[in-house]
Amino acid sequence: MSSPLMATYERTFEGLSKTLEKLSRKGALGVPIIVEGKKDVAALMKLGIRGKTLTIKDSGKILEDSLDRTLGSEVVVFVDFDRHGSELAKEIAIYMESRKVKADLAVWREIRALVRRDLKDVEGLPSYLERLKKRIKA
């Protein structure tokens, strides 16, 4: 019989897996994924998510050359899950939409809701998933 805590781990793991699959499908379709830095790109690759990724400057401004390479009408915003990430996501969404590019925040919102206060950044996502797997198997 599984404990309530174990059920929580299982629900979180399952929810993250399904949501990351959505992100993977978007990437496979060629929708660019905006992240904060190179470590976030490496985390996505470790999770098996491929596709075009765009990184932003520390100041939160979109790199102009990255924007110029964005030929489509949509981007996925996938920044950190803390307060700074929330502010940055809003800023990116406003910036992109002012340029008639849809900023998809759905995956980011779903993952942020699943990890709550347990995880603050994208780069920690692979190890967080591994910890959940170990807890479920224990």
User: pLDDT digits over 23-33, tens only?
Assistant: 999 999 999 99
Nearest to 27 by CA among 4, 61, 54, 1: 54
Query: Among 30-44, 69-83, 114-128, which is the least confidently predicted range?
Result: 69-83
Cα separation, 12 vs 92, in Å, equals 27
pTM for the model: 0.88
The larger pLDDT score, comparing residue 71 to residue 110, is at: 110
Q: Summarize pLDDT for 82-128 with one digit per residue, the tens.
A: 999 999 999 989 988 888 889 999 999 999 999 988 999 999 999 99
β-pair partners for 104:
76
Give the pLDDT of residue 24.
Answer: 98
Tracing tokens 């629900």 back to the chain, one arrives at 11
Q: Domains in the chain, start-ordered, CATH in brackets?
A: 4-133 (3.40.1360.10)
